[in-house]
Structures are given as structure tokens and as C-alpha cells.
Chains A and B, each alone.
Chain A
Amino acid sequence: MVSSVTRLAAGLVAIAGVASFSVGPALAQTSVKIGYALSRTGPNAGGAAVTTLPNYEMWVKEVNAAGGLKIGDKRVPIEIVQYDDRSSAEEAAKALDRLITQDKVDFILPPWGTGLNLAVGPILNKAGYPHLAATAVTDRAPELAKRWPNSFWLLGTSAGAANTLVELLVKLRGEGKIGDTVAMVSVADGFGIDLSGAARPALAKANFKLAYDKTYPVGTQDLSPLVNEAKALNPDVFIAFSYPPDTLGLTEQARIAGFNPKIFYTGVGTAFPLFKGKFGANAEGVMGIGGWNGDSPAIKDYLARHKAASANGAEPDRWASSVTYASLQMLQQAIERVGKIDRAAVIKDLQTGTFDTVIGKVKFENNLPTKYWWVGQWQGGEFYGVGPATNEGARAPIIPKPAWKAQ
């Protein structure tokens, strides 16, 4: 009796041993598991669907078509594990916990948006995963990069965005192209509060006259009172730190009301292909947050591949899309240079290495890139970066904005 039990146990151990020997090492090398949780539903879904998801899918498809990630002297295909964070910080945290503890993924791609990236920061830091936040704009970026050395904040700070815009305004005023009066509206939510908060002192310091400065709640369905008030003050510059639906609404309303300031600047969504699709020739001259070097061959190639990869020929947005894709290229180059699944070494390589990407050569300093596009403008159907003017490929802005055309 005892012996049969012992024999059975020994047999089981042997089988388990053989199984683990034959399956174990093979498993570790047949794929690199990469996980992410994105907002497929909820208020963030619109942004994630334009900026993040197409790039993740395209990158994985491209890498796997080439045989996979180069680990040592072998190519290993990427296997994806994905969840819907339903635009909620709690769901995102839960999903990441699951990716780390149950799915045991090798790498994690970040969620979309500032809020969710801040929410998952501590989790990724604790578990030692690299965190390439490609869609977060926060003034705490330098501080966060210090606190979480695994985190990289590719879009920079809202103060950077506001200051670059004001610098451009100062330069244009110096050239006599615009006057002093500015009307500013902002959405009463993270993005709008941060940016208008940074712009107010910057404008005051540069001696601009802020004739109108109002906030509006998220989801406001009729923006005509704002546009009409701003128009009545006849400003030279209109600035809106807005979210995509408001960006479209404000532009539409300005066109209807014939509000045609010399500079018309709107927030998130200006760089979306949807903006060009909706306004067509009327997009010409509209400025907005973001931009890219539309003349660079790498960007042109990226644009073409993005269109070919998505089912309906969708174009990327002209701000964070290319940055998101560049962050994936950086992750890939870091992994391939390290040559094995060693997250600490990959983080180290990200901190110190130089990377060849669609947005040019990128090197982090204190976990932050040194170059950003902050002001773009639609010029001849492309959203070119115009600020900072020192960036490679920066175009001269068209001032004044051409008058709205009747559609």
C-alpha cells in the first residue's frame, strides 16, 4: 500500500519534472508577453481609439511580421494580453495587477491620458516595469520621473505648452503681426485648468491684455455664448484649452459667427484627422496643441504605414500618435540591445541610450525628452509644428489666419 502510494507519487514527480523540463524553457522563448489596459469604453475611449490603440496594434503587427523582437540571436514574436480599463483609475489598477501577477507579462504598455498614467505610475514602479507615458501632460513630470525612475514622460509639462505658445505670441507681436488683446477659454477639467493656470501668469508677464478669461464645464453642448462674448471684444488672439468635442464645437461656432481673430488656437483634437475631415479648407491657419515635422521622410513613411495598417485608412493624430509610436520603437530598441527579458536593464538602457525613432533621434535627460512640439498649425492640409521655432522642421506660422470660407 505504502509502496504503491510512494511509487505513484514518484511517478507523478517524474512526469512533472519531465514536463517542466521539456515545456519550461521552450515556453520562456516562444513569445514575449506584452500586456496593456486601454480605455475601450467610457469618456477616454475617444482619445485612446485615435491616438493609442492603432499604434499599439500597428507596432505589434510590424514586429511580428519581421519575425518578432530580437532577443539575443533569436527572433521572438510578441503575444498580447489586453484589457479594457473602462476609463476608470480603479479598473486600470486592477487590470495591471492582473497583468503582473496572473498573466505574468514581460512588459506593459501604458494607458491613454494623464489621469490614468498618474494612477498606474506607482504600480508599474513597484513591480519594476518600464513606464513610457506617451499621452500624459503634467507639470509634475520632472518630479515624478525622479520619484519613479522607471517612468518616462514623453509629452512634457503643461507649463511648457503654455510658455511656448506665449513665446510665439511675443515673437509675432514683435514682428507687428498681432496686437495685445487675448481672449482665453478653458475646459474646467485637468487639462484646461493646468494649461490656463500656466498661461495666465505667462501672458501677464509678457504684457498681454487678457480681455476674456472664462472656463466652461466638461460636456457643454452649446459654446456659442463663449464665442459671441469673445467676438464682441474683438481680440487679436483666441486661445481655447479645450477637449476634442469642444474643440470642434468652438471652431464650428467661430466660423458660424464669423469670429476671425488673427490667431485662432484650440486644444486637444485640433491635431486629429477628424478636424481636417470636418472643416476641410477651413482648417487652414487654425493653430492647436501639438504638431510634428510633416516634411520629414520618417513622418511621411509613418503616416503612410498608419493609413495602410488601419482597417478604414485612418490617419494618426498629429501630436501624441507619433510620440506613442516612437515610445514603442524605444522600448523595442532597449529590449533588443539588452538582449534578454531583463526589465531593470531595459529601464537602464532607456535612461541612458539614444534612440532612432519616427520623431527623430531621442535621448532622455532625467527621464524626460529634450524636445517637444507644442504649437502646430494646419497649413495646406497638414498640421505642421510651428513652435518651438528652434525645433528641426519648424515652419513659420501663417499670420493672420485666413478668413473662414463659406462651406
Chain B
Amino acid sequence: MTNAILTGLMLGGMYALIAMGLTLQYGVARIMNLSYGEFLVAAAFASYWLFTGWALNPLVGLAVVVPTGFGVSMILYRVLLTPLVRRAPTRDALEVDSILATFGMMFIVQGIMLTMFGGAYFSYSFLSIPVAVLGETLALNRLIAFGLAVLFGVALYLALTRTRFGTAIRAVAVDPAAARLVAIDVTWISAFAFAIGGALVAAAGVLISMFLTFSASSGVVFTMKALIVVVMGGVGNLLGCLVAGLALGLSESLVATFVDPGLTLAVNFALFLGVLLVKPAGLFGRAQR
């Protein structure tokens, strides 16, 4: 039982980590980023490349990859997405336009990775050491990823709730039109939120590359998972993202241990549908309109 709960928590932490960036990109900037998983895999490749080519520890690699993720996302938003934002008459229209634009981006990023690394699977060993927690054996790299996911989550939560800038971001997420009335620069805040999302997805990619096997084509799996977690938690809500991620991870692990490993996907979707039936806006989402 302890083991099932511990592994479930770690898996859930990973799901939350994957989804945190998307909740900012989708919830605040209203960009439904379909190339999200590809950026995650790109960060995993960057980490792999730094580790095998330059012997740079992935945890140190974070210091390189995360700012790069921030910068690349900022440039993307400024160059590729700002015209869409300007042109879109409503936020709903922007959502549709961004789906099409980022769908194209998905192929570009994937194509670049395929040219650079080929289609093969990649995996490396880093801190794959057993450690005892509450009498159970866990892998150190997963534990570190979980710890950092919690750290990022808490830091981001505090930044969003305790700072003036965070309040502005939340204001844009809730009502961009009204935010403009109180002198919030919505375009700038959106770009910033999108870039933080990019930094978070880069961090997730680096951490996940320590223990998962990935290939240039595995991005879509992460996009799907992130989307489920974000929608289930309530779009744009960080706390919801954490709770939904943990709920999914725990349910998967408990079902795999006590019922049947073959049912994990079914339980995932049952939970997802169940939440949406009871709370259509997600666990922590506020019903709008």
C-alpha cells in the first residue's frame, strides 16, 4: 500500500510537472499549444546532448535549458503568435487560430529533431540509484524530479498569489478585457506567461529525460497528458493542475497494484470524464459566461 501510494505520488508529480507550463500558456495567454509535447521532447534531447556530449549533469543542464526555453518561447510568441493575437477578434477565435498555428509548429519542431537525432529511441542513466523512503525502494532520479516539481509548483504558486506581477497574470487569465481597464498591459503579460510556460516545459523535459525513454516522435503523448491534466484541474489554475496530476498518478498506481495494470488508461479517462460531468470547468475552474 505504501509503495503504491509513493509511486502514485511520484507519477502524479510528473504529470503535474508536465502540465504546469501548459496551464500558463493555455490559461493565461490563450494559446492552445499543440506543439507543447514537442518542446518537452526538444528539452529532453538538449539535456541528453549536454549530458552525453559535454558530460554536463542534467541538473546543471537545467540552468542552460530552462532560460533557453524561456527565450525561445518569448521569441515565438513575439514573432509567430503576436500577429494572431492582434488579428483575433475574440479570445475564442485566438484559441482556434493558435491551434492551427501550433499544429504546424509541431511538425517543424519534430522535423528539426528528426534531422538532428533521427527517429531512434534515446535513453541515458543518471542518478538511477535506489533509495529507501518509508521502507520502500524508489529511484533517486524520479524522487528528484518529484521534489523539483513540487518546488517549481510552490514557487510559481507563491509568485502568482503573493506578487503584484502574479496578480496581473491572474487578472489576465480571468478577464483580459477588464484587466486592460486597470492599466495591465495584456499583450506583455500574455507573452510573459507564455514564456514562463516555455521555461516550465523545458524543465519538465530535462527532468523526465533522466528516467523515461524518448524519441523525436514521442511528443504527442506528453501533449495529450498535459491537456488532460490542465482541463481536469481547471484551465489556468496552477493548484488545480497539481491536484489533477496527483489524482491521476495515484489512481493509476493504485489500480495497477490492486486491480489490474491493464485498466490504468481506462481509469484515467473515467476519472477525467467523471470530473468534467460534475464540474464542467474542471476541479478548480470557475464557470464562465
Residues of A within 8 A of B (CB): 39-43, 45-46, 48-50, 53, 87, 185, 188, 214-217, 219-222, 224-226, 228-229, 244-245, 248-249, 252-253, 255-258, 269, 272, 274, 278-280, 314, 406-407
Of all chain A residues, the one with the shortest Cβ separation from B120 is A49
With a cutoff of 8 Å between Cβ atoms, the chain B residues found around residue A50 in the complex are: 120-121
Taking a contact as CB atoms under 8 Å apart, the answer to whether A256 and B137 are in contact is yes
Q: Give chain B residues whose Cβ lies under 8 Å from the Cβ of A221.
A: 11, 14, 212
Known contacts A216-B262, A245-B212: A274-B123 contact under CB 8 Å: yes
Instruction: Report the minimum CB–CB distance from B107 to chain A (whole Å).
Output: 9
Residues on B with C-beta less than 8 A from A256 are 128-130, 137-139
Known contacts A48-B119, A249-B213, A252-B139: does B130 contact A258 (CB below 8 Å)? yes
Residues of B within 8 A of A215 (CB): 261-262
Q: Are B262 and A217 in contact (CB under 8 A)?
A: yes
How many Å from the CB of B28 to the closest CB on chain A? 27
Across the interface, which residues of B come within 8 angstroms of A214, CB to CB? 260-262
Chain A residues whose C-beta falls within 8 Å of the C-beta of B139 in the assembled complex:
252-253, 256
> Does B33 sit at the interface, judged by CB under 8 A?
no
What separation, in Å, do the CA atoms of A400 and B138 have in the docked complex?
25
**Residue in B4, B138, B211 with the greatest tally of chain A CB atoms within 10 Å:** B211
Q: What are 11 residue pairs bridging A and B, where the CB atoms are less than 8 Å apart in the complex?
A: A40-B114, A41-B114, A45-B217, A49-B120, A214-B260, A215-B262, A226-B261, A229-B257, A245-B121, A249-B212, A278-B125
CA distance in complex: A245, B218 (Å): 11
Interface size counted on chain B using CB atoms at 8 A: 39
| Known A41-B119, A217-B264, A224-B3; 5 more pairs at CB < 8 Å | A219-B221, A222-B14, A252-B128, A252-B211, A256-B137
B124 A278 Cβ-Cβ under 8 A? yes
The B1-36 residues at the A interface (CB cut-off 8 A) are 3-4, 7, 10-11, 14
Cross-chain contact A272 with B256 (CB below 8 angstroms) = no
Cβ contact within 8 Å between A407 and B110: no
- Which partner residue on chain A sits nearest B224 by CB separation? A219
On whether A225 and B212 interact (CB within 8 A), knowing A219-B221, A274-B121, A278-B123, the answer reads no
Which chain A positions have C-beta within 8 A of B252? Answer: 222
CB proximity of A219 to chain B, nearest CB, Å: 6
Task: Give every chain B residue within 8 A of A279 (Cβ-Cβ).
Answer: 125
Most chain-A Cβ atoms within 10 A of its Cβ — which of B4, B122, B217, B249?
A: B217
Given known pairs A41-B114, A43-B217, A45-B114, the reply for A216 and B256 (CB within 8 Å) is: yes
Nearest-neighbour CB distance to chain B for A311, whole angstroms, equals 9
Most chain A beta carbons < 10 A, residue from B119, B130, B217, B253: B119
Collect the chain B residues with CB atoms within 8 Å of residue A272's CB: 121
| Complex Cα–Cα for A53 and B118 (A) | 10
Residues of chain A with a CB closer than 8 A to B223's CB: none
Q: Is the CB of B120 within 8 A of A217?
A: no
In the complex, the chain A residue whose C-beta lies closest to that of B18 is: A221
Choose among B124, B138, B139 the residue with the greatest number of A CB atoms under 10 Å from its CB: B139
Residues of A within 8 A of B124 (CB): 278
